[in-house]
């Protein structure tokens, strides 16, 4: 296993592997499946009061992070009209659930390349993906300093 793969938490590594097995259009279809599987927000959470916006992303992406049993949980609000970004946020939410702040901080910024997403998404979308991960790392850094 490569050093990059070792730096990816186990659940996210499974998702990366799942994407690495499919080609071209199938990658986009799998991303749409994740988009549709994104968990609804809990009743106590909404973007007006207790979520932060990822301003670096052109799509309106809101995120909330919290610690549960020593691991991080990320909640996302991404409009259904942006299925690519929503799918990516869903992957991060599922793949990083329970990861320690240190694991989030050490996740390689380009881990999505192992998924082959850079071959099927535009540069603009990849920049949004990078911005979302950078934001999650900032949130993890805040948890780490507590």
Q: Where are the alpha helices (DSSP H) in the chain?
A: 3-6, 10-20, 25-37, 83-95, 101-106, 123-144
Whether residue 3 is predicted with pLDDT greater than 70 in this model: the reply is no
**pLDDT of 45-72, one tens digit each?**
988 888 999 988 888 999 999 999 999 9
At 86-125, the pLDDT tens digits run: 999 999 999 999 999 999 999 999 898 889 998 988 888 8
Let me know if domain 3-41+52-144 sits in CATH 3.30.160.270: no
Task: Write the pLDDT tens digit of every residue in 124-136.
Answer: 888 888 999 999 9
**Per-residue exposure over 52-90, b if at least 16 CB sit within 10 Å of its own CB, e if not:** eebeebebebbbbbeeeeebbebbbbbeeebbbbbbbbb
Give residue 5's pLDDT.
65
């Amino acid at each position: 296993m490569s050093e990059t793969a070792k730096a990816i938490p186990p659940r996210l590594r499974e998702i990366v592997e799942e994407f690495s097995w499919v080609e071209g259009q199938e990658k986009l279809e799998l991303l749409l499946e994740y988009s549709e599987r994104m968990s609804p927000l809990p009743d106590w959470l909404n973007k007006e009061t207790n979520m932060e916006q990822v301003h670096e992303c052109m799509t309106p992406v809101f995120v909330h992070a919290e610690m549960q049993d020593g691991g991080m949980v990320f909640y996302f609000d991404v409009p259904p009209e942006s299925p690519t970004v929503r799918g990516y946020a869903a992957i991060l939410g599922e793949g990083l659930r329970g990861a320690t702040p240190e694991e989030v901080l050490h996740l390689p910024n380009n881990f999505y390349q192992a998924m082959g997403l850079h071959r099927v998404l535009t540069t603009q979308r990849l920049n949004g993906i990078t911005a979302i991960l950078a934001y999650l790392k900032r949130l993890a850094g805040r948890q780490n300093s507590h």
